[in-house]
Chains A and B, each alone.
Chain A
Amino acid sequence: MKTTPSIMAGIGLKIPAIFFSVALTFLGLLFITFFIGRVVPIDPVLAAVGDRATPEVYERMRIELGLHLPLYQQFWIYLLKVFQGDFGMSVLTANPVLKDIQRVFPATLELATVATAIGVLVGIPFGIIGAVFRGRWPDHILRVVSLFGYSVPVFWLGLVGLLIFYGRLDIAPGPGRIEVFYEGMVDPVTGLLVVDALLAGEWDICKNALAHLVLPASILGYFSTAYISRMTRSFMLDQLEQEYITTARVKGIAEWRVICIHALGNVRIPLITVVALSYASLLEGSVLTETVFAWPGLGMYLTQSLLSADMNAVLGATIVVGGVFIGVNLLSDLLYKIFDPRARM
């Protein structure tokens, strides 16, 4: 690998700039959540002491919560706390918010990962077929499938899926992550139920968890497929018009090789960004899907906290989702720079 040092040097030059911009974005995220926490019509002091407290108690609590300080100092304290992983206590569960999030996050991760895998495995081949058969019936089918995906509400599709596959055909299990009977029977090692059950050698539990995963993951995966296939098609069309493709064909290279090796090789790089973006947006889609399927993940935690006005939990979950979003974007940026020599210039 003769080129490795120069590649690393090229990336190295950009890294401080990238991290600076990521840090700034994260700071912006914290500022927004801080701001939201301040404009909330719920008085945090009143929430802590109750409305029968004497003015002295109220004042003492106000000082204890740091609300008498100037705003910029309050923001600074808030920043320090967040960086120590202290999002405050959840009113709803009486646990530290961070602990709650650690408990629910793996469920969302499991769902989003399987859904993205479906999106990649189905979407990329579909997109290639659409580009190769441009304007013919496979392309039209692709167009309809992705247009449907862009237009249909995810929670509605989830409900219809439950109605058909659980209610009528009875081939899918109902809502939830696992049968109540199996609840808590495997030790959470990774937090991913399917993996944990496999590690514990509990085949039945693994099968049950997998069965519960199929419907919500397919529904989310469908949206991912719609997006990934549309983008793949468009990137492939760009490549197939290029002259090097004509050259390859003229040289007598087999058509499948031209498509799968030459064109797809160049499409791979922009696709990284698309897959990363779709993965991050599934975290968002999971808020609605989890509510429909009673899936005990971050999305359901967020909505339940919202409905009970548990601001610490809402802001904590927002910071985590925003942080993951920023992190995934950063990762795709870095991968882009590693794989695409032009982006290193």
Chain B
Amino acid sequence: MANNEYPQQEQTVDGLRQWLLTTTPCSRLQARAGRSYIAWLSFTRNRLAVIGLGIITLLVLTAVLAPLIAPYHPNVPDLEQRLQTMSMEHWLGTDQLGRDILSRILYGSRLTLYVVVLVAIIAAPLGLVVGTVAGYSGGLVDSVLMRITDIFLAFPKLILALAFVAALGPGIENAIIAIAITSWPPYARIARAETITLRNSDFIVAARLQGAGHIRLIVHHIIPLCLSSVIVRVTLDMAGIILTAAGLGFLGLGAQPPLPEWGAMIAGGRQFLLDQWWVATLPGIAIFIVSLGFNLLGDGLRDVLDPRSGGK
């Protein structure tokens, strides 16, 4: 299907596309790449999801490049410059200690990313293991594990996180632990539901006949198939995690001063709300944009990975 009227470059792009979209792939790699490409195509068709992905990319870039792009040091006070309004020197003004708000927001993206990544790393595997083991074993193990999951699900997340922080003491690490402890149960439920549908399927039986043990079956055959629904759920939960972490920071129980955590920054600017409104309100816009990004991305991923719930 070589078309001579196309310039050379477009021909190779076309060739690559054909290689990806072929219905008769010649290798595993080609099949896999093709599947990913199709998923990518249907993902990019959702404009909002692409915006979400853009926001998250921007968040990551900001976090990485914060020292390069921030005009001032985030934590060094400059009392002569306190509570300045927006100007050319301080684009978003300064706070009660004369620190540049823009720089603090830029550095704050690091803390947000830190919280989100750590909570996901702790909570998602925990939920996956509990859910797959419960679903795979059935019987008493299943009942006990799911009862525990239900108990955790039955509580309001923020209250439980508050109680844990009270026990562990305020601080960003303890806030992360508290949020992770309260956010694994939905992942366990999802993983269990998926596992039950897979448990008796032929490929599991075949693997068992070949002598695969329980752990091998769960780790190599069941968990990979539960991953996509858990990833979607984790992405959708990220916004909630960010809001909870910011809430803990706002109450003075999360990140401690002078860390430029967005929730704590809002709390710091509260007493100047009526006269210097920018101190308390601007970090909130950052929180809003980032959680919006995760919500949009999660919605888009759900449509791609779980077509059943499309559009609802």
Chain A residues in contact with chain B, CB under 8 A?
21, 24-25, 28-29, 32-33, 36-37, 39-41, 147-148, 150-156, 159-160, 162-163, 166-167, 234, 237-238, 280-281, 283-284, 287-288, 291, 302-303, 306-307, 309, 311, 314-315, 318, 321-322, 325-326, 329
Query: Nearest chain-B residue to A155 (Cβ)?
Result: B250
Say whether A151 contacts B163, CB under 8 Å: no
Whole-angstrom CA separation of A24 from B160 in the bound complex: 17
Task: State in angstroms the CA–CA spacing of A303 and B168 once bound together.
Answer: 15
Q: Does B284 contact A (CB under 8 A)?
A: yes
* From A152, A159, A166, A322, contact of B266 by CB (8 A): A159
The yes or no answer to B270 lying at the interface (CB within 8 A) is yes
Cβ–Cβ contact A152 & B166, under 8 A: no
CA distance A37 to B160 in the complex (A): 13
Do A163 and B281 touch across chains, with their CB atoms under 8 A apart?
Answer: yes
**18 more CB-based (< 8 A) A-B contacts, given A238-B312, A303-B162:** A28-B147, A29-B154, A151-B292, A152-B288, A156-B287, A162-B273, A234-B312, A280-B156, A287-B159, A287-B251, A291-B251, A306-B251, A307-B251, A307-B252, A314-B162, A314-B166, A315-B163, A325-B154
Contacting residues, chain B, for A287 (C-beta < 8 A): 158-159, 162, 247, 251
Q: CA A127 – CA B296 in complex, angstroms?
A: 20
B284 proximity list for chain A (CB < 8 A) = 152-153, 156, 159-160
List of B residues within 8 angstroms of A147 by Cβ = 292, 295-296
Bound Cα distance from A124 to B168, whole angstroms: 41
B165 at the interface (CB under 8 A from A): yes
Nearest B residue (CB) for A152: B288
User: B265 to chain A: closest CB distance in Å?
Assistant: 11
Alpha-carbon distance A315/B159, docked complex (angstroms) = 10
Contacts of B158 in A (CB 8 A): 284, 287-288
Chain A residues within an 8 Å CB radius of B168 = 39
A residues in contact with B166, CB < 8 Å: 36, 40, 306, 309, 311, 314
Min C-beta distance of A136 to chain B, whole Å: 14
CA–CA, A317 to B181, complex, Å?
19
- Residues on the A chain within 8 Å of B288, using CB: 151-153, 156
Instruction: Enumerate chain B residues within 8 angstroms of A306, measured Cβ to Cβ.
Output: 162, 165-166, 251, 253
B162, B239, B281 interface centre (most CB from chain A within 10 Å): B162
Interface positions of B from 48 to 92, Cβ below 8 Å from A: none
Residues of the B chain whose Cβ atoms lie less than 8 Å from the Cβ of A329 = 154
The 6 closest A-B pairs by CB, nearest first: A28-B151, A156-B284, A284-B156, A151-B292, A167-B274, A151-B291
Judge whether B247 and A153 touch: CB under 8 Å: yes
B147 A24 Cβ-Cβ under 8 A: yes
In the complex the two chains form, is B154's CB within 8 Å of A326's CB? Answer: yes
In the complex where A159-B280, A307-B252, A322-B154 touch, is A153 in contact with B246 (Cβ < 8 A)? Answer: yes
* CA of A33 to CA of B166, assembled, Å: 11
Considering only residues 106-155 of chain B, those with a C-beta below 8 Å from chain A are: 147-148, 150-151, 154-155
8 contacting pairs across A/B (C-beta < 8 A): A29-B154, A32-B160, A150-B291, A150-B295, A152-B287, A159-B280, A167-B274, A303-B251
- Contact present for A318 and B251 (CB under 8 Å): no
Contacts of B155 on A, CB cut-off 8 Å? Answer: 29, 322, 325
Q: Which residue of A lies closest to B247 (CB)?
A: A288
A21: chain B residues within 8 A (beta carbon): 150
In the complex the two chains form, is B159's CB within 8 Å of A284's CB? yes
Q: Give the Cβ gap from B203 to chain A, nearest Cβ, in Å.
A: 33
Q: Does B300 sit at the interface, judged by CB under 8 A?
A: no
**B243 on the A face (CB < 8 A):** yes
Contact A36 B253 (CB under 8 A): no
Chain A contacts for B263, CB-based, 8 A? 153, 155
A180 to B152, CA, bound (A): 40
Please give, as numbers and ranges, the residues of chain A lying within 8 Å of B292 by CB-CB distance: 147-148, 151
Check B257 for interface membership: any CB of A closer than 8 A.
Answer: no
Distance between A112 CB and nearest chain B CB, rounded to angstroms: 12
Is B167 an interface position by the 8 A CB rule?
A: yes
- Greatest chain B CB density within 10 A among A163, A166, A234, A284 is at A284
